Structure 1
């Protein structure tokens, strides 16, 4: 049968090809004309059941018994979960077992099979095909993307080569200028000496002539120049310039050249949350909201409760909850009447604050204040919640000579971070504020005001890097780096409020300076991040601005 015309063809007898057969064998699943039925039934090696064509499929096909040849299983043992024949039953093996009609079980399972078939055909299978098609398209896009990456890197390399060639040409030009200048100086000095030599030679010839001719007239008019000639010319020694090549730091060079950013270390994502996508920095940040906290005394710390609501505190015992429409929602007074050193919000939305005077870390639940941690000989400063729901607290010793970071699970101390591998203190001494945050990669970042630095360690407390301010003199002022607030974003970038310089520094997770945010606030004192990577910045005057700085 030609497949091209299969839709127009008719049913035919399986033996003689007669069209429109009137019979059908339900066991063999073949169509038969009346003349061929007897021939089909002549094959006694298999069982047959021939019915009119219109009744095809009406004969139940019972399974053959696994234990008794030539027997069909018309019943089903529900306890043994197998089909059984009459011989199986008479053997007594299924005595007192519940037996059902195999056809009834088949009909029930047929519905399950039909449901599974429809689900596979209409939902699951198309999805698999769709995913395979997506992978095919992904491969094509992948090749295009990586070819584009190679081209981009090559072109960037050409730009670097052009810049390096320009630097080399400039240095060569400077060398040539110095060479020409020094040669000119030497030539001028040489010409002056040659002139003196020429005059001296004439004088010598003149004297020889006088001696030779014994000319009294010439001798009486001779004027000696020996005193002049005895003043020998200076010996010039050119101080030749030297070139001191800077040592190439391959790692920094690589970092400056550029880097690849993937959604994870394998460079692919299965189904990542929105925050897993790379968010580039905007060339020009945008202020999307501004509010005044109406503090009569200067604003100190802020912490986001939601994207639209934040806790604030300043130089006073009152902690205030505002929305971004400048509406005061709640006020809480510290139990001791002291100003909070720092505030944070737990995953459950409870407020945590540190009381430096009472040496406590406290939590506010439903307006009730409870002391979580009471300290002896140590005073708490900065506090933050970790990704594992632990508390990270920056502590200063009572005598001001030591400082450390402690991780608490509830009120239990589980980790102390104080020294590097050489036993040297990681953080400065002295009565300075130290504020703390945890990065998305679980690095612990401390804004150490006493050290004029940000100190970063990994989760285990091992030192990673120290940042002391940008070396970019085009932007950075002559004032010292004053890290007064710190936060991180979904890309593990670190943002630091530099209050004295009116800058917000942005670093990557490795501590490399990326850029400044400037010109939006005066004397930024604290930072926090909402869930969409919008930056909230507080300044001394009580103003809070929400800034969009990523794409």
Structure 2
């Protein structure tokens, strides 16, 4: 067996061509032979008389091989047929037995492949639609619960305010009534005081009369007695008793008070049903149905479908001025680069690598702290000030988001809806926060279902085409992936040797690409975390790399630990 070339050795991983010593990328699959094929071997396979009628499809549309099951009646045979009348699997020898005479048989492998595709489709629906949609509905319920709490607290505040207003009015009326009693009391006492004065005057009059009668009684002069006028006592003055006021208690009860105050009513309307987004008829994800498993046979021509190229081709290379290393790369809509190093330098270059502007940030970490937005702006984090800034096309820098007491170390503007994903650290903890493109906080992701911490140091962050949030966590030495609802999906920890992940990005096919500083290579994963291949390595002339980025033209930008950014073409 001949030794594989350096390029072949670099590509020798799971998706390897199954023909002889060929070590190229096996992106096709022969359903008859059940082995992957590279493009060249596929063409030869079609030309060979013995295999020209074999069904060859793209690897992801392959027919899954029937599991081996030994026939109990014929141990040297495998069950590979299905009897329609008996509805049971059997071996080819069983089909010749008398009990199956005249029966119709199907290829068990075809049935298994169809069923497998159907089951995988249903499983995919659960993972891609039913589970995320249900999680979204659950999130809606949680938001509704928060809103109900706010509304009820507002109602209670209004009730207290209304009761306070009623109490104020009661106090005001009571005060007026009490003041009126003081006025009435003053008037009655004045009248009684006048009557008291009348009797004082009358008592004085009686005293004078008493003195005069005593003078008459003590005299010895009879003539005086007969000459004196007849004294007549004036009658006692008449006065009236006061008519005291009577307090008439108000006539009211609890129901009267209830009528005075507002009340809480449940709207007499039919509750609105929560909107469940329908499952898309067509999407970027393959919907596996029995009908589509037949249609997949027509998709073998790679020229009609974007797929992995059999080799990685270097397109161009930049030497970025004013940076020591290309620790993170962002590409805006115009194709211009933004490159940062570990000392906080952030430089923009044109398509020829000429410097357009340079910003000195306070960041001193090797992280993905900047990202290009859908609008063509760049946003970047200032770790020292704990803010996120925006740079517009006119080079104006404005403060965009404040992150409180958390340090924003990684950031990504999503392609799906423009949301901003920010990886943050605080003390010994870490989280991912989602903001709207206007800067409103939407979501915080920190722990898994069992309460475990999902992140330690999320150095780089990105979003996949299915809404998954992918983070490169250097301290955990893993790629941590959660769905758009924040539920943990999987963690990728490398192949064999320990993974030391740096930059991360995704492409139009849902692949996840990550730099591994241990192997100094770029790993390619599918969107479910399955390892596909190493597409770049030192054997292909790659210097130790730390960042990756894919542009709208499906070009792969690789930032290296010097100031070099190399562009590759790996899809066709």
Higher normalized contact order (CA 8 Å, seq sep 6+, divided by chain length): 2
Q: Structure 2 length as normaliser, TM-score?
A: 0.47
Q: Structure 1 length as normaliser, TM-score?
A: 0.49
